[in-house]
Structure 1
C-alpha cells in the first residue's frame, strides 16, 4: 500500500476541488469518524477490463506492465492462436459474455470440469486463459475481433469518472467477487454472507425467496437505520429485484414497504442530510446505468458520477464512507487467479449442467474474479492502492463489507465467509481531507 502522506498526484484539470486544500488532524479512533456507510454495487466488469488500463500509479496490478493473452482454443494452446489484451474496449459491448459458474470454470481453468481438489496446487488449473475460448463457444464464432471483446480494456480517458475517483481515494487491486458466477448469488453474498446454495439468477431472488438472515435484518434488530434505494424492478418476471427484496424476512417484517425506496429518494435524502446509517443502492439492470452489457459505459459513468456528487455534497459527507464495487466480472477477462480453499457461507452445494452436457457441482470454496472497488471518504488517503488484505483471511472480497460493518457497529458475523474476509478499517486515517473533489469530469464523449 502507498502511504497516504507520500502520495502526490496531479488532479485532473476538469475536477472542481474543494478549498482550502489543507489537512486537519483529528483525534479519536476510526469508529468515531464514520457514522454513515453508502454502498453502490454496479454490474459485470472485471478489474482488468475497467481498471487494468489506469496509468496514474505504477503500483496498480493491471495490464500496462503485463502482457496478457488468451487462445481461441484453450484446449490446444500449441496452435499459438493468441489474442492479447489491448485498449480497445467498446462503449457498448457487442455481446454479454457467459458468467455462469460452469462458464467461469472454462475461463479460469480452460475446462468446464476442473479438479477442485488440486486446483490450488497445479498451475495448469490457474492459467486464466479461457476467456476468449469461452466467448467463442458461447457465441459460436471464430471472429477474433468479436471474441476479443472479453479481454480488451479501457483507457483512463474512456473511464474518466472512475479514474478520477480512484486517483482521489483508495483503489483495491485485489478485491475478488464472492462467487465465480452470476449477479444474484454474488449480491446475496454481499448482503448476507451466503447465497444459500443458489448459483444462478433463479426465481427465488424475485419472490423474497431466500431464508437466511441478511444484513438488513441484522441492522433492524440492532436499531441501526438502513434503506435500499433502487432503480430496479420489484416483482417476478420484471427483471432484477433490489437486493433487500431477496429475503423472506424483508417481506414478512414489512421492511419491503418501509425500507425499499426509489432511487430519486436517495438524491433527496442526500441533499437534505437525511441518509440512514446504512445506504445500499441498486442500479437498474441492464440497459443504461449498470455497466452490464448492453449498458453503455458512458451512461454508467454518468450514473456513478451522480451518486458520488450527491454523497460528496451532502451535509453528511464529513462522517460518510462510500464503497463502490461491482457484483461480478460478467465474463470479462482478468489475469489474477482467484483464491481457492476459502470458507463457504454454508454447506449447501450447487449443481448445473455445463456446455458439454455434463454436470458440475460447486461448493462455494473458491472466490470469484477480481472486480474494481473503491473506498471513498474524506478520512482515507489520496491515490492509495490497496493490495492483499492485512487481517483475517488475508483477502478482500465482497463479504469484507459485512466484516467491516461488524467491526463498525459491533455486529456478529453472519457466516464463516464473513469471519474469514479481511476488513479495511486500517485505511481510515486521522487526517480529514478538504481537497476531495466536489464534482467529477464528464464521461468520455464516444459519440
Structure 2
C-alpha cells in the first residue's frame, strides 16, 4: 500500500505527539523530600563515579581568608569535612551576599568593569566574621567537602539514577523562603525565617491548594520533633502549613501526617499522588548542623527503600533536594536577572549596620538534587535545562507537577523554570537497587 507524503507526515506527527505525552502515563506518584542546608560542592562535590560532575574532585577551590584584602592568606577546600559540622555557617541573605559577592550590598560594582562581584570567594571570610575567629582551620569547614566514601547512600542514589549538578536554590538565603518558593513559587516578600511561617501567615496560593482545587490528593508527612499549629510557639511548621489556606480549609488536620504514616502508607501502596516529606529540624536526620551526615544518610536510605519496596514503585518519581546551601561553599555562580515570584522585596540590616534590599531576581547557591524512578536512566548527569536553556531551581518542581497534571503555572518564576520530563524514558528499568549501602560514621 502506497502512503502519500501528507499521510506519512500526519502519522509522524501523531507518533511524535504520543511520545511527547506518554511520560504522563508512567508517573502517578510524585514524592518530594527536601533536606536541609548543604551546597553541591561541599556535599556532592567529591563524587568521582563520573568525571563530568562539576564538583571539587576535579576542581581546586580556594577562598582568601579576607575577601576584601588582595594580599590575604589563601584557604583551599579539602576532602575532610566533619560528620558533625562544628559550626552552622551564616545563610541569611546579607551573609550570602558576602559569600557570593564579597560585599553585603549587591548594588556595589567594580569601578573598572561595572559588574557585580560575583566571585564565590567570600565563604571563609563570612565564616570567620560570623564566629569571630581567626582560626582558619575552623573557618575552612565552610568550604571543606565530603568524599564519595563519606556519603555512600547519596552516592548510590546519584550513580543509579539522575544527578543534577546545576540545580540552584530559589533564594540566596535561609530555609523557609526557599521552601515557600519550592511549594508556591514565591516567598511573598519574606527573606528570613520569620514568625509568619509559624502561624500559617502566607496568603499566596500554594501547590497544595492548587492540587486540592484539581481534586488531586496530597499529604505532607513530617518528621518534626516540634508541634505544629495551633501552638505556633512550639517551633517550625511543616511546609504545607506555611499557608493560610491550609489552616482555614482544615487541610492542616487531615493532610499533614507523622512520618510513621509515610512508611505504612508506602508499604500498603496507599501513598497519594503527591507526597511531600519534611525531615526534622535540626538535630539528627536533616543534614542541618549539628545533624550528623551519617544519620541524614540513614534517613534518606529509609525513604528510598520504603518507596522501592512499595507496590507503587513502578509508577513513582522521587525527587530529593536540599532547601538551600546553609552557608557552605560552592564555586558555581548562581544565575542573576531571573523572574521573581512577584513584585515584593525584602529588606534587612546587614552586619555592617546598613540596610540591604533584595528583589528576588537572583537564584540561590547550587544544591545537590537527584531524581529517582524506574523510568529514568542510570547514572545520568543533568546540567543546564533544555527548555530554552533555562535553569533548574526549586521552582522546577511545581512547574513539573503543573505539566504532569495539567495545572497552571503558579508564578512567573515557576513558568520560567526548566522542567525535567524529558528524563522520563519509555523503558522501565528492572535493575534499580532494592537497598542502598549502610551509612558510615567518621
Quickly say closer, same or farther: Cα 1:393–1:195, change in 2 above 3 A: farther
- 1:137 and 2:116 matched: no
2: distance between equivalents of 1:288 and 1:116? 39
1:70 equivalent in structure 2: 63
Residues 109, 117 of structure 2: 8 Å contact kept = no
2:23 equivalent in structure 1: 30
| Structure ID, larger Rg | 2
- 1:213 and 2:209 matched: no
2: distance between equivalents of 1:423 and 1:396? 7
Q: How far off its partner does 1:441 sit? A: 0.4
Report the TM-score, using the length of structure 1 for normalisation. 0.92
* More displaced 10-residue stretch of structure 1: 372-381 or 238-247: 238-247
Quickly say closer, same or farther: Cα 1:116–1:314, change in 2 above 3 A: farther
Residues 171, 362 of structure 2: 8 Å contact kept = yes
Q: How far off its partner does 1:29 sit? A: 1.1
- Could you say what the CA RMSD is over the residues aligned between the two structures, in angstroms? 1.5
Of 94, 101, 113, the residue aligned with 2:105 is 113
- 1:301-320 to structure 2, matched below 5 A, reads 301-320=297-316
Q: How far off its partner does 1:66 sit? A: 1.2
Q: How far off its partner does 1:445 sit? A: 3.0
- 1:186 and 2:178 matched: yes
Of 426, 435, 438, the residue aligned with 1:439 is 435
Matched position secondary structure for 1:404: helix
- 1:267-278 to structure 2, matched below 5 A, reads 267-278=263-274
- 1:290-439 to structure 2, matched below 5 A, reads 290-392=286-388, 394-439=390-435
Provide structure 2 residue ranges, at least 5 long, that are not aligned to the other structure: 1-18
Quickly say closer, same or farther: Cα 1:152–1:412, change in 2 above 3 A: same
Quickly say closer, same or farther: Cα 1:444–1:130, change in 2 above 3 A: same
Q: How far off its partner does 1:410 sit? A: 0.3
- 1:233-272 to structure 2, matched below 5 A, reads 233=226, 234=228, 235-272=231-268
1:60 equivalent in structure 2: 53
Write the deviation string for residues 305-339 of structure 1: whole angstroms up to 9, x where unpaired. Answer: 00000011100000000000000000000000000
Kindly report structure 1 stretches of 4+ aligned residues shifted beyond 4 Å. Answer: 116-119, 121-124
2: distance between equivalents of 1:354 and 1:27? 48
- 1:176 and 2:168 matched: yes
Q: How far off its partner does 1:256 sit? A: 0.4
Q: How far off its partner does 1:239 sit? A: 2.4
1:19 equivalent in structure 2: none
Of 79, 97, 103, the residue aligned with 2:89 is 97
1:5 equivalent in structure 2: none
Q: How far off its partner does 1:118 sit? A: 8.7
Quickly say closer, same or farther: Cα 1:291–1:334, change in 2 above 3 A: same
Quickly say closer, same or farther: Cα 1:419–1:231, change in 2 above 3 A: same
Q: Of the two structures, which has the highest relative contact order with CA contacts closer than 8 Å and spacing of 6 or more? A: 1
Matched position secondary structure for 2:234: coil
Quickly say closer, same or farther: Cα 1:359–1:268, change in 2 above 3 A: same
Write the deviation string for residues 172-197 of structure 1: whole angstroms up to 9, x where unpaired. Answer: 00000000000000000000000000
Matched position secondary structure for 2:233: coil
Of 177, 199, 212, the residue aligned with 2:191 is 199
Quickly say closer, same or farther: Cα 1:428–1:116, change in 2 above 3 A: farther
Q: How far off its partner does 1:237 sit? A: 2.7
1:85 equivalent in structure 2: 77
1: distance between equivalents of 2:107 and 2:77? 28
Residues 159, 444 of structure 1: 8 Å contact kept = yes
Quickly say closer, same or farther: Cα 1:320–1:103, change in 2 above 3 A: same
Matched position secondary structure for 1:237: helix
Q: How far off its partner does 1:27 sit? A: 11
Q: How far off its partner does 1:65 sit? A: 1.6
Matched position secondary structure for 1:301: helix
Report the TM-score, using the length of structure 2 for normalisation. 0.93
Residues 392, 421 of structure 1: 8 Å contact kept = no
Matched position secondary structure for 1:59: coil
- 1:280 and 2:276 matched: yes
1:18 equivalent in structure 2: none
